[in-house]
């Protein structure tokens, strides 16, 4: 591990966190099913468990990046804030499920005792982080939150998510006077909930780089395909980048430079939101995209440069997935190193080596670029 700088950092990331979010417990079972088949001596924790986030907190508090981190408290969201993105019927369903002692809302998504309070903390903490940036108290804020949120749609839960933390923060920015907000989602799964929430808006550019997994049932009807471009005024402002399995660091860098950067430059947002999930890593149980710390660091650098160029440096980072209890924390550290534009890595990659072949990804990215230029009005001529 390289030594951290001896001089006081001139740049910082303000991390919003509340330990009450650890009280969400999705239980044990076969992977994320909650099922006990009766013939296993050891039932594993649900992938979205508190251990993963405990390591993220500790690596930021005690790791070499700690001099660059400031800590701020979270808070629960208020009902009117929830209704800015979610329907009242859906919120009532969640409240009733909590009152009744819990409920499986969809496959793998368990609202248990303590889950609703944790969800309110995750939503409110993310909104507070956005407000912090908009009010000029800091340029870069990171909402270190769980349960995750980017699959939660206005009217239903999905994929371990109850409330759409990033979507609520984006809506708060719009309500606060931001003319345009850009969302870049690098979680391994399609940020379908956020996309759905702004599918008819030309004020929010939602861009998602994800594994090409398609729909996984009624809770996730969206495919995440390139032709899901938005509707009405929002047509062309939902850009999906479904990438082949094993895309890796070089493939993701190519997607960022060829697809994301030109779109952001044409859109010219006033506020940037980076939605991060370390489940795109080479060792995550939920993904197959083969990113290493180097790839996450490069993504962080690219997004920071876009925020500096278009948003006066204003950037909100929102935590989503990432289920390898150790490597997710390391990849978070690398992402934030990139966001800070540090000249050298502070932390070496303990399991970095993974063979890469980006040839297929490059071809896929080329075809997506052609499709977008042919079909997205604001990108024609980009």
Q: Please say if 151 is a catalytic residue.
A: yes
Three-class SS state of 270: coil
How is the beta sheet containing 271-276 ordered, strand by strand? Answer: 69-73, 13-17, 140-143, 315-319, 271-276, 181-185, 204-211, 238-243
Token representation of residue 309: 């160029």
Set 24, 132, 151, 333: catalytic member: 151
Query: Alpha-carbon distance 314 to 336, whole Å?
Result: 14
Q: Which of 204, 223, 135, 236 is nearest to 176 (CA)?
A: 135
Query: Alpha-carbon distance 111 to 101, whole Å?
Result: 8
Query: Alpha-carbon distance 81 to 78, whole Å?
Result: 5
Query: Alpha-carbon distance 188 to 295, whole Å?
Result: 13
Token representation of residue 104: 């499986």
Q: Which residues pair with 103 in a beta bridge?
A: 111
Query: Alpha-carbon distance 184 to 175, whole Å?
Result: 20
> What does the chain come to in residues?
382
Q: Which of 41, 164, 29 is nearest to 104 (CA)?
A: 29
Active site residues per annotation: 151
């Amino acid at each position: 591990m390289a030594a951290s700088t001896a001089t006081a950092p001139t740049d910082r990331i303000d991390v919003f966190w509340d330990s009450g979010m650890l009280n969400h417990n999705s239980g044990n079972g076969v992977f994320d099913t909650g099922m006990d088949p009766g013939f296993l001596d050891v039932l594993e924790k649900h992938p979205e468990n508190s251990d993963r986030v405990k390591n993220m907190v500790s690596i930021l508090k005690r790791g070499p990046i700690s001099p660059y981190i400031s800590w701020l408290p979270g808070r629960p969201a208020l009902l009117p804030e929830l209704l800015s993105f979610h329907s009242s019927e859906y919120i009532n369903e969640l409240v009733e499920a909590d009152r009744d002692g819990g409920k499986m809302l969809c496959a793998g998504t368990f609202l248990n005792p303590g889950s609703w309070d944790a969800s309110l903390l995750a939503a409110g903490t993310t909104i507070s982080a956005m407000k912090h940036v908009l009010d000029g108290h800091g340029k870069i804020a990171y909402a270190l939150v769980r349960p995750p949120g980017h699959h939660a749609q206005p009217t239903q839960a999905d994929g371990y998510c109850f409330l759409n933390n990033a979507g609520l923060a984006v809506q708060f920015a719009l309500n606060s006077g931001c003319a345009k907000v850009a969302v870049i989602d690098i979680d391994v799964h399609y940020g379908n909930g956020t996309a759905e929430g702004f599918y008819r808006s030309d004020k929010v550019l939602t861009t998602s780089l994800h594994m090409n997994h398609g729909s996984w049932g009624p809770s996730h009807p969206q495919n995440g395909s390139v032709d899901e471009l938005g509707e009405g005024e929002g047509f062309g402002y939902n850009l999906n980048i479904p990438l082949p399995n094993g895309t890796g660091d070089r493939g993701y860098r190519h997607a960022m430079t060829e697809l994301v950067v030109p779109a952001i430059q044409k859109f010219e947002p006033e506020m940037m939101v980076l939605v991060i999930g370390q489940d795109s890593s080479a060792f995550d149980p939920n993904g197959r995209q083969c990113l290493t710390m180097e790839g996450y660091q490069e993504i962080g650098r690219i997004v920071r440069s876009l925020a500096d160029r278009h948003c006066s440096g204003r950037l909100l980072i929102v935590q989503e997935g990432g289920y390898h209890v150790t490597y997710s924390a390391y990849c978070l550290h690398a992402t934030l190193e990139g966001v800070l534009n540090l000249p050298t890595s502070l932390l070496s990659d303990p399991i970095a080596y993974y063979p890469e072949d980006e040839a297929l990804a490059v071809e896929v990215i080329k075809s997506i670029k052609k499709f977008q230029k042919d079909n997205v009005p604001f990108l024609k001529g980009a």
